[in-house]
Every structure is written in C-alpha cells, then in structure tokens.
Amino acid sequence: MTNQGKYALNQNIKFGFLEKIDVVKLITDCKDRWYNQTLTQVNDCVVRLGVFNEGEFPFHKHEEEDEFFFVLRGRLTIELENDCVHLEVHQGYTVPKGTIHRPKISEPTAVLMMEGKGVKPTGD
C-alpha cells in the first residue's frame, strides 16, 4: 500500500479472475479519509474503488490515459481547469488524458473508476 499522508492508495490488484467482489462490504469496512483500491484487471485496464469520506484529492493529470468515474454512493464533483462537473448516484464521466482535474466531495462518496493499468492515482 502506498500511503501519501491522508490518502490510502492501493495499486495492488486485490481480486483475481473468478473471484467474487463484494463492493458494498469494501465500502462499509472503509475507515480511511480517502481510499483508492485496485479491485481487478480487465485486459489492459483496471477497475478501482474509491471511497471518499471527506475533502478533495490534489489537482493532477494523466498524460497518456483517460479516466472513467461512476458514482455508487453520494455525490462527486470533478473540478477541471475551467469547469466543474457534478455527478449523482449512477452517473458517470470520462476525463480525457492530459486534462487537469481533481475529485472533490461534500459527503461520503463511493465511486468505481476504470483506467489503464499503468495510471498512477496521483497523476504523472
């Protein structure tokens, strides 16, 4: 696990092929302020779970990879350089590669993210 201060960033793949993933249990068990866990790999991409209990993540970008967010619980704001996107439960949004962004929340929120397996959560 990589722990950068107040962010628990787990890039190891937690579940292999043919393993059941109980996302609700992972969300319920999470006590971290800002948690990111790689759940599984699908071809050249990974599926990550983000459980965000307070605050925001630093502005960052991914030069070579797009990043998809899908809200499972709560509300997610994605701040961009010149815009803000507000997502409710069961809404998704793709941030294109090279775009400076930061996820931000005002209530506990859980999201699934899909991105290339080489993407670092903190950006390039």
User: Which CATH number is 84's domain given?
Assistant: 2.60.120.10
In a domain, 101, yes or no: yes
- The pLDDT of residue 92 is 98
Residue labelled with tokens 């866990």: 37
Split into its structural domains, the chain has a count of 1
Can you say how many angstroms the Cα of residue 79 is from the centroid of all Cα atoms in its chain? 14
Domain that holds residue 110: 2-116
In a domain, 121, yes or no: no
In a domain, 122, yes or no: no
DSSP letter string, 49-105: EEEE-SSBPPPB--SS--EEEEEEES-EEEEESS-EEEE-TT-EEEEPTT--EEEE-
In a domain, 24, yes or no: yes
Cα–Cα distance between 34 and 117 in angstroms, integer? 20
In a domain, 50, yes or no: yes
- The pLDDT of residue 51 is 97
Residue of 20, 57, 65, 59 lying closest to 35 (CA atoms): 57
How many angstroms separate the Cα of 77 from the Cα of each of 12, 48, 52, 88? 26, 18, 12, 9
- The pLDDT > 90 percentage for the chain reads 83
pLDDT beneath 70, residues of the chain: 1-5, 124
Tell me: the pLDDT tens digits for 94-110? Answer: 999 999 999 999 999 99
Cα–Cα distance between 69 and 80 in angstroms, integer? 14
In a domain, 22, yes or no: yes
